[in-house]
Structure 1
Amino acid sequence: MAERTEDKMEIDPKTLDAVLNGRLSDPFSFFGRHRAGDRDVVRTFQPGARAVDLVERMPGNDAGGRLIESLYNVNQTGLFVSGGTLGPQQDYLLRITWPTPGGGEFVQYTEDPYRFGLLLGDLDIHLLAEGRHLELGRCLGANPMTVDGIAGTRFAVWAPNARRVSVVGDFNQWDGRRHPMRLRVEAGVWELFIPRLGSGTRYQYEIVGADGNVLPLKADPVARATEAPPSTVSLVASDVPFRWTDDAWMASRRQRHALDAPLSVYEVHAGSWLRILEEDGRSLNWHELGDRLIPYVAGMGFTHVEFLPIMEHPFGGSWGYQPLGLFAPSARFGTPAGFASFVDRCHAAGIGVILDWVPAHFPSDAHGLVRFDGTALYEHQDPREGFHQDWNTLIYNLGRNEVCGFLIASALEWLEHFHVDGLRVDAVASMLYRDYSRKAGEWIPNKYGGRENLEAVDFLRNFNQTVAERCPGAMVIAEESTAWPGVSAPVSEGGLGFTHKWNMGWMHDTLRYMSYDPIYRQHHHHDMTFGLIYAFSERFMLPISHDEVVHGKGSLLNKMPGGDVHQKLANLRAYFGFMWTHPGKKLLFMGCEFAQHTEWNHDGSPDWNLLDVPGHRGIQRLVRDLNRLYAGEPSLHRKDASHEGFAWVIGDDSANSVFAYLRKGNDGDAPLLVVLNMTPVSRDNYRIGVPGGSSGPVTWREILNTDNQVYGGTGMSNGEVRSEAEGRHGQPHSLVLTLPPMSVVMLKPVQALH
């Protein structure tokens, strides 16, 4: 009688217990093929299987060849062990027989995942350990590939303090005992190649934390695809490269984003820009947004569309500002390839794409980054540094190189792999100050005793330098609400290195001015002029964003004074005229362009039916015309960031609430005269100084009037006006104008002045 397998292959009870309880610290030292004396033995853990056989592996035949040996099920535990009949040079497959409901069975053929050697290269490990791996999405996470001629997926995840990490999914019945990973201790990274898994595979990580407890299943921090929430499952992303057609756009991007180029941004929440009411109010997918949003943005004359964060986030009501999938476009709107196609179509239409990006904080959902390996890994341990009181979120520990590298690699994923043209960095002020929104005793000073977050400053500078070097022409825009100096100054000059900064002060001051009844505006004249004191200290963008039309703040229209909607619309038209002629790039949130009545609701859509109302349609036409004028008149954009592009003509007529200024471009560009009358009273025969012509008086033509009847105004107009050789306001000539009520008029000389 042949010797029994169980007699030939004994398993140490402690090892067997570790296998059965998922506590095997080094699975590669036990599972797979190993030399035992003069024999090769194979061990595999397949709990619930009816049988496991070794069959001869035959390239090109997924089911292999002849039977080599049937494995012994040790104590019926699911640990299957061979008896040593495998030849030293003989290759094998596992043939696993599984029971199915109803008494049937299913046969699975697969290579042994524990037959493969080290997966990540020495350079990968070195860069990961230093936090300098900028291609993190192709190193960590789930990457389909071929190893030793075998197709499958390599999984890798950073969890340095974990006792055990396993890949779980439908392929192993979510049993963390079946696919424990190998620890690359040099970098704290766990890796495993699982044969025959490909794109679309559902997976998560089961982690035994530093304290020995099994954590809630974790989504992959570097997953490049996910299931749509409320699912928390990661997906193996497709390895099929997207075929881009935007070479011409990418080659011209640096010029399109130059400081002297026009930049007018339409800010959009992808989930609520246009909902399909007939289908339970669902959001559009990327293909549908391409069909409808792109023509709208192009037709309105905006140069860019900016999305509130589309990175995967668990709670839709966070609008994306509490993301957990920093490498994955939200599955709410389709696949990663669908998003790439949308960007490609935007570029074909001459539209750039900007994404909001959140490196300041993350939510505490159990499946996410919080105590990822059982310790404060991505966040600070001390809540005085690691907990954001305003948003109930956790703050990234930017003192860890690996965390900084994770965030920078995320940014590059969008800029390089999705061809995104810019990132708007959210909540920069909260990153820069350790005492942000904290009382005394609730924060920890820096090493010098100050309130500045030195680690965040170093991170932002490194991040901006990396983007500048790797992504020519890409914009990085700071939402920064304080007077921190040099936000948009180059790092080489001591700045933070952003390309632009949102001008929050301008927004607050001017909206406050516009909220006053015009009779009182004379007492708040400085709210409109103060911004010009510092307008050129940074490269500014003027933001009328989603933040101004939520949380009880009301719509932009309803911030305007007036006893009826006509007066409110007139105020809003004047405000837009002022905004588009003021130095600085422009940003406007969806719905504001046609004077949405109600504040934004992410569960609904803007009231597009208002475009059936002439006054609202007039506002939309005004925004379109302002965009075209802004792009078409060099003097409105070439010197946006320079004091040379602006000159006050009248800044002190508070009694009449009248303002006048010149916008200027390069030599040879015609200057533009902008005049604001911020009262509902027309001003007749109002004399305003203008530059003189070299050969005498000059004719000026009105090229914009927010009181035009096509916009819903009264129709008062100046047409063409001849200058007179009567100096005013420091200018050698002057014009006598009619200033319509609550209006902005813009005039341009018909002939050259010099």
Structure 2
Amino acid sequence: MDKITNPPQLSPDDQAALAGGRCSQPFSILGPRPHGEGQWLTVFHPDLASLAAVGPGGTVPLARVAGDLFAGPIPAGPYRLKARSGGGVEWTFEDPYRFGPVLGEMDLHLLAEGTHKRLWRVLGAHVMTHQGVSGTHFAVWAPNAQRVSVVGQFNGWDGRRHPMRRVGQGFWEIFLPDLTEGTLYKYEILDAQGGVMQKADPVGFGSQHPPEKASVVRDIAGYGWKDADWMAGRAAAQDRRAPISIYEVHPGSWRRKYDDGGRPLSYQEMARDLVSYAKDMGFTHLELMPVSEFPFDGSWGYQPVGLYAPTIRFGPPHKFRDLVDAAHRAGLGVLLDWVPGHFPTDAHGLARFDGTELYEHADPREGFHQDWNTLIYNYGRTEVQNFLTANAVYWLDEYHIDGLRVDAVASMLYRDYSRKDGEWVPNKDGGRENYEAIAFLQNMNIEAYAEQPGIMTMAEESTSFPKVSAPVDAGGLGFGFKWNMGWMNDTLRYMSRDPVHRRYHHDLMSFGLMYAFTENFILPISHDEVVHGKGSLLHKMPGDEWQQFANLRAYYGFMWGHPGKKLLFMGCEFGQPEEWNHNGELNWHAASQPMHQGVQALVRDLNALYRDTPALHVKDAEPEGFQWIATDPAQSTYAWVRRGDAGDPPVVVVCNFTPVPRPDFRIGVPQAGRWREAVNTDATAYGGSGMGNLGGVVADGEPQDGQPASMAVTLPPLSVVIFVAAD
């Protein structure tokens, strides 16, 4: 090659910026640039004795021009770099600065606009082939950073080595050749004040096992799903008219492997053991407490730092897919607890991500959650809304998740949530509603249902905010369902009373019917009811041991006969005697004892009856599906009828919440003829006394309680009896 004259010169400022890790435009300095008939190559690489370029024309040494900066003319065309250390070790590698951008103009436009529906496919770390070379592409949003670099073991965690290209409105990207699945990395960020910090990838697909904090390159493409039948039919299985009975699970403490150091089950072990158990118990869905990566076990996942990363505690992403796939093939839906309401202050997370309040509010009256010492997302920022909405779609799309239970919705809806006067900022109209959070939730539901038909979203919302489960175009938030927290609190207060006093609190069990059809409700008995000193569900019940079990069984009969979908936290299905401990496993020894087995058998039978009896589920959210027959405070009895569509046999539920047996208890019923005793919570098979109706009763034509017929039933102590019309 002819001698090249007038080689490009780097200014002292550029040299100092590279050496000092302050270079904000590395691609304008590093890599190849056309020069004469060839190209001029500039490379920054610390701690080398020599560096050369290897191409079709051979090896061309590069000159050390200053410190760790090498440069020189090379022939046109592709090349690799050949390095030699001071100890004489040689190796070759690709130069990242010879590769062009990956992000296209449309992606950058949508990202800047906050409307990129598949944000995770362009941000984060992606294993790919670019310009004929395999490697990993990294992209991140940090608009106020002076410089962003990818750091990891591959470059000695040295932020000077791989500064990224700034593109679009505050995005950074780089393609690093030869980096593969499993590579540890972080983003090193030089903020506007000159501070340097290392952050985990907000859109990373994997993380190190806590307490380690690095992100991990995970290739999430190419999984071979085998759940086509479930996916094709799930819309009907998740409709408001479908039987939905949810088993809520904390994956880390359902079971432990005490023959292997006490570790929790892996995703694959859950795919075998948890799925088969939930299927046998008759549940229709698993709901997993948060699996997005989180640093602190004691948060149970409700303070995530990696919204796009299934926690590594139980395995890598494809193994989590194994769990979902196995559930689907067993006919079970999989729901996730999702936390878009707040995030922890951990230094490697989203807090002051680029040196500014990027994801959170700057004003602590808006941006700091006093109850949990966490930070609140700035829902008014389009990029933040896009980050969260895309995350909802991500789980539904990439992992075939069937629904999201959105945590702490009440804290999102109100600016004064858990705050005193003067500690919150009113909305533009002077009110307490958080308009930006409301708009985010509406948009999230619109996008989720549009992108993945057949899914369901659920709001954990404890206030009287209207139309939570109404469509957005009808003025609602757009959720499919709402947790009925009021029902849970009222009924558990009633059940905790000594039966002699229940007559004075009779309305606690019936009040829920005053608003039962204003939303599509789920009746939740969740983990929150069996932690923090609240005791187990069994021990909330009054009386001696026999009465506690009888009360618990009666409560379950009441719950399964009541309008609304069902949710039960793990361990409650067999009456675990202790409150839940996330550091251990459920008390499976207790589950093998007769009285606990009786509760377990009852829940299994209630699930079967609920699934197989249309009147118990098709009109869960319609007032036409429910009618009171009679309630008697003095006797603490309740009776009602459940109806389905025309032709569906009606169901009558009768409750006795005192220890007094009531033989020959006459109630009105909607039709004469035989009524089958479908479930009696006092049956000996469940640990009860065995008092009952010998399989059924016959109603005569004598009207009572506003019904055209009536029947005399035996009502056992502390029991619920469910009758299904047999004629």
- With normalisation by structure 2, the TM-score equals 0.98
Conserved? CA contact 2:470–2:479, under 8 Å: yes
The more displaced of 722-731 and 447-456 is 722-731
* CA distance in 2 between partners of 1:492 and 1:13 (Å): 60
The equivalent residue for 2:169 is: 187
Q: How does 1:97-108 map to 2 (within 5 A)?
A: 97-98=84-85, 103=87, 105=89, 107-108=90-91
Deviation track 1:157-189 (CA, whole Å, cap 9, x = no partner) reads 0000000000011111110001001111x3210
* CA distance in 1 between partners of 2:656 and 2:430 (Å): 50
The equivalent residue for 1:18 is: 17
The more displaced of 477-486 and 220-229 is 220-229
The equivalent residue for 2:693 is: 718
Deviation of the 1:111 alpha carbon:
2.2
Classify the secondary structure of the residue corresponding to 1:687. strand
Classify the secondary structure of the residue corresponding to 2:196. coil
The more displaced of 27-36 and 457-466 is 27-36
Deviation of the 1:10 alpha carbon:
5.0
Determine if the alignment matches structure 1 residue 137 to structure 2 residue 120.
yes
The equivalent residue for 2:140 is: 157
* CA distance in 1 between partners of 2:17 and 2:466 (Å): 57
Determine if the alignment matches structure 1 residue 121 to structure 2 residue 104.
yes
Classify the secondary structure of the residue corresponding to 2:85. strand
Conserved? CA contact 1:488–1:499, under 8 Å: yes
* CA distance in 1 between partners of 2:684 and 2:435 (Å): 55
Deviation of the 1:8 alpha carbon:
6.3
The equivalent residue for 1:61 is: none
From 54, 68, 71, the equivalent of 1:78 is 68
AA of the residue aligned to 2:657: M
* CA distance in 2 between partners of 1:298 and 1:558 (Å): 27
The more displaced of 33-42 and 310-319 is 33-42
Deviation track 1:98-155 (CA, whole Å, cap 9, x = no partner) reads 35xxx562x3322211112232101100100011111111100011112211111111
* CA distance in 1 between partners of 2:183 and 2:45 (Å): 19
AA of the residue aligned to 2:564: G
* CA distance in 2 between partners of 1:253 and 1:686 (Å): 42
Determine if the alignment matches structure 1 residue 557 to structure 2 residue 538.
yes
Conserved? CA contact 1:287–1:338, under 8 Å: yes
The equivalent residue for 1:670 is: 649
From 154, 159, 170, the equivalent of 2:153 is 170
Q: How does 1:28-43 map to 2 (within 5 A)?
A: 28-35=27-34, 40-43=39-42
Classify the secondary structure of the residue corresponding to 1:192. strand
The equivalent residue for 2:721 is: 745
Deviation of the 1:521 alpha carbon:
0.1
Q: How does 1:119-518 map to 2 (within 5 A)?
A: 119-184=102-167, 186-215=168-197, 217-238=198-219, 240-518=221-499
Deviation of the 1:350 alpha carbon:
0.3
From 96, 113, 119, the equivalent of 2:83 is 96
Determine if the alignment matches structure 1 residue 659 to structure 2 residue 659.
no
* CA distance in 1 between partners of 2:78 and 2:515 (Å): 73
Q: How does 1:673-688 map to 2 (within 5 A)?
A: 673-688=652-667
Classify the secondary structure of the residue corresponding to 1:480. coil
Conserved? CA contact 2:406–2:460, under 8 Å: yes
* CA distance in 2 between partners of 1:178 and 1:611 (Å): 57
* CA distance in 1 between partners of 2:248 and 2:686 (Å): 23
* CA distance in 2 between partners of 1:493 and 1:410 (Å): 25
Deviation track 1:607-637 (CA, whole Å, cap 9, x = no partner) reads 0001221100100000000000000111100
The equivalent residue for 1:60 is: none
Percent identity over the alignment is 56
Conserved? CA contact 2:664–2:713, under 8 Å: yes
Give unpaired runs (5+ residues) of structure 2.
none
Conserved? CA contact 2:159–2:188, under 8 Å: yes
From 511, 515, 533, the equivalent of 1:530 is 511
* CA distance in 1 between partners of 2:547 and 2:260 (Å): 37
* CA distance in 1 between partners of 2:50 and 2:698 (Å): 98
Classify the secondary structure of the residue corresponding to 1:692. coil
Deviation of the 1:671 alpha carbon:
0.5
Conserved? CA contact 2:256–2:584, under 8 Å: yes
AA of the residue aligned to 2:96: P
Determine if the alignment matches structure 1 residue 618 to structure 2 residue 601.
no
Deviation of the 1:37 alpha carbon:
6.8
AA of the residue aligned to 2:281: M
AA of the residue aligned to 1:214: V
Determine if the alignment matches structure 1 residue 593 to structure 2 residue 573.
yes
Classify the secondary structure of the residue corresponding to 1:243. coil
Deviation of the 1:9 alpha carbon:
6.6
* CA distance in 1 between partners of 2:367 and 2:116 (Å): 24
* CA distance in 1 between partners of 2:332 and 2:660 (Å): 40
Determine if the alignment matches structure 1 residue 648 to structure 2 residue 635.
no
The more displaced of 35-44 and 721-730 is 35-44
Deviation of the 1:66 alpha carbon:
2.4
Deviation of the 1:721 alpha carbon:
1.5
Deviation track 1:631-672 (CA, whole Å, cap 9, x = no partner) reads 011110011000111110012x00000100001100000001
Conserved? CA contact 2:4–2:36, under 8 Å: no
The equivalent residue for 2:668 is: 689
* CA distance in 1 between partners of 2:32 and 2:411 (Å): 53
AA of the residue aligned to 2:71: V
* CA distance in 2 between partners of 1:581 and 1:735 (Å): 19
From 670, 684, 687, the equivalent of 1:709 is 684
AA of the residue aligned to 1:111: E
Classify the secondary structure of the residue corresponding to 2:437. helix
AA of the residue aligned to 1:136: L
* Root mean square deviation of aligned Cα: 1.6
Deviation of the 1:35 alpha carbon:
4.1
* CA distance in 2 between partners of 1:52 and 1:634 (Å): 76
